[in-house]
Structure 1
Amino acid sequence: MVKLQEHPLLKKIIENRSSLTPKGRILSDFILSNPRKVVFMTTKELAQACEVSEATVVRFVVQVGFDGYSNFQQALRDLVDTEMTLVDRVDLTDMGEPGADRFRHEVFKEIDNLKQMYRSLDIETIRAAASALHDSDNIFVVGSRLSFTLAYYFGWQLTKIRGNIQILKGSDSTSLDRLTIASPESLVILIATSRYPNELIRIAKHVRRMGHTLIVISDSSLCPVNGFARHVLVAPSKHIPIFGSTASLTCLINYIVLELSGRYGDALKMHQEKLERSYRENDILFNLEVFDG
């Protein structure tokens, strides 16, 4: 596992330390020593812990390259999330809370996560990715562990609006075979959620070697497969999940599918009519008329 101090975010703090004021260096030392604590601190709490003013905290985050404290804290949150074990995550949760309180907290966390995604995502970036999907003859959707659930969901939705969709599981080594023999015009969508399985990193490298177009949908700007992609869509979470949080990514996938659907015109109707005929002919889905009969 990569040491926290070797991570790009904290390396940035270390590299800027010599140019900081004495109080700024106090802040940098505290953050480097306590990243898991700082990620949950407000500017006031961090200032009190380091015995400096809140204004000093605000100046510090600007000096190390961030527009504001919320952006700095999001980057720190992404950093901490990538290296926390299952035991660490459970320790973050108060298992002794009453059930109703825990339910409300979880709902409000997901609302916070959706707001964070809404504020951070650029619609034009999503539309550019949708254009690449529309223009590609063959599409592969790849995921692993938790992200395979999202990959299957995304791939399943895409089959409802167009053909030539294949869903691959990253843990299956034959995925590399199928990507190797895929036509040069193929597009690969890789979905990655922390803690980022190494098999997805191998697949991202392989996709680049094969010359395919890669779209990465991830939950963090620090995701290790982002750098291999032509298009990167990040749906960040404001909170660190215990086992995983998919609400924001699912919402993003739903929007991409709707954006793409509007580009097929009459071809979409023909495609869906063909599917519906198959459902009826093969008695695939529940039919109320048949049931009543």
Structure 2
Amino acid sequence: MVSYRHLKEVIQASYPDLTKNHKRIADYFLANMEKVPFLSVQELSLEVKASVASVVRFAQQIGYSGYSELREDVSSILQNKISNGDIFNPSEALNPKTDLFSSIAGIEIKNINSTLQSLDRASLSQVVKSILKADKVYTAGLGVSYYMSEVLAYQLNQVAVNADNLRHDSMLLTEQIPFIKKNDFIVYFSFPPYSKETIEAAELAHTLGLRSAAITNKPTAPITRFTDHQLLVSSENLLYTNALTGIAVLINTIVTECGRKNKEKARVMISLLKGVENSYTE
């Protein structure tokens, strides 16, 4: 029996070579692994809107003899996680007799640990290099992703990186993309529910040959098809919103590394900002 993490990695590694139907099945597995043991091959085919044969071929493509063997393996993996106490029970955290703050903190810690394990350090290094080489950095996102993109742009400015957040007011993101130049770099934030407007902006930028990175929650997120680099962050939460701590840690890492590699300019900028601040407090 393989581990839960190993099975996810196998599916993720196979993803670029999968057909459109198989990618839909892979997406379902990565998002709903706990449901698989309870679904027959016919039921799963209805869930993913693919034929039974496609489900069987998907299982074979990731190393199993068929769907039955894959389902048995998933069932064993989940039983093992339950017996080890690895699966978090949301109802316990929502029980008024429990310490909700500790439960939420526990989820955030798990998100950070998961991100530590899954984050591709080589991709992170490439994103930092691209940011520092760019004439200007643009950040983009909608919903809670808008605020995280705003934070990244603000903090990059603090370490002397010319950055701006694409606004969301009278102009659509797609209307702002044509003004971005070839030597610029875009960082998108895209988390469930994935904003169609952000994905369309990324697709347009990709068509125009603009370089970009996506900060998102999984390798199969729609925006990853249109970006050069992907930084994956776990954002699991009790509510139907994204937890932000893991994203904030990644932002802090990117900005700190940019400041470390751009020491002289960052030092001058910090000194300048402190001088402005002091002039108003004296």
Superposed pair shares fold, TM > 0.5 = yes
Distance 2:197 2:255 in 1: 26
Q: Is 2:149–2:165's contact at 8 Å kept on the other side of the alignment?
A: yes
**1:112 corresponds to which residue?**
110
Displacement of 1:251: 0.8
Residue 75 (structure 2) pairs with residue 60 (structure 1): no
Contact 1:169/1:175 (8 A) holds in 2? yes
Distance change >3 Å, CA 61–CA 208, structure 1 → 2: same
Tell me the equivalent position of 1:254. Answer: 252
Identity %: 18
Which residue is 1:188 aligned to? Answer: 186
The CA RMSD over aligned residues, in Å, is 3.7
1:2-81 alignment runs, 5 A limit: 8=23, 10=25, 28-29=40-41, 32=44, 60=70, 69=77
2:133 pairs with 1:135: yes
TM-score (norm 2): 0.68
- 1:206 aligned to which of 204, 207, 218: 204
User: Deviation of residue 255 (structure 1)?
Assistant: 0.7
Q: 1:60 to 1:274 in 2, by over 3 A?
A: same
Show CA shifts across 1:161-211 (max 9, x none).
124211113565254343212222111111111101111111111211222
Conservation of the 8 A alpha-carbon contact between 1:204 and 1:228:
yes
Contact conserved, 1:117 with 1:237, CA < 8 A, in 2?
Answer: no
2:62 aligns with none
Match of 2:120 in 1: 122
Larger Rg: 1
TM-score by length of 1: 0.66
Q: Partner amino acid for 1:60?
A: L
Change (3 A) 1:263 1:13: closer
What's the CA shift for 1:103? 2.3
2:223 to 216, 225, 246: 225
Contact 1:170–1:200, Cα closer than 8 Å, also in 2:
no
Asked if the contact 1:142/1:148 (under 8 Å) is kept, the reply is yes
Match of 1:149 in 2: 147
Tell me, which stretches of 5 or more residues in structure 1 are unaligned? Answer: 1-5, 15-23, 36-55, 74-91
Amino acid at match of 1:266: E
Displacement of 1:11 in angstroms is 6.0
**Partners of 2:123 and 2:231 within 8 A in 1:** yes
Moved over 3 A (4+): 11-14, 24-31, 56-59, 61-64, 92-96, 169-172, 174-178, 237-241
- Paired residue type of 1:244: N
Q: Distance in 2 between matches of 1:26 and 1:166?
A: 48
Letter in 2 for 1:129: V
Aligned residue identity for 2:270: Q
Distance 2:143 2:22 in 1: 24
Native 8 Å contact 2:128 2:258 kept in 1: yes
| Cα distance change on mapping 1:278 and 1:61 into 2, 3 Å | farther
Aligned residues: 228
Whether contact under 8 Å (2:157, 2:163) holds in the other structure is yes
- Structure 1 residue 69, shift from structure 2 partner: 4.3
- Measured in 2, the distance between the counterparts of 1:98 and 1:167 equals 40
The secondary structure found in structure 1 opposite 2:212 is strand
Residue 116 of structure 1 contacts residue 238 of structure 1 at CA under 8 Å; is this kept in 2? no
Once the two structures are TM-superposed, the CA of residue 30 in structure 1 deviates from its matched residue by: 8.7
Q: What is the DSSP-based 3-state SS (H/G/I as helix, E as strand, rest coil) of the residue aligned with 1:201?
A: helix
Displacement of 1:217 after TM fit? Answer: 0.5
Counterpart residue number, 1:159: 157
2:33 is matched with none
C-alpha contact (below 8 Å) 1:139/1:165 kept by paired residues: yes
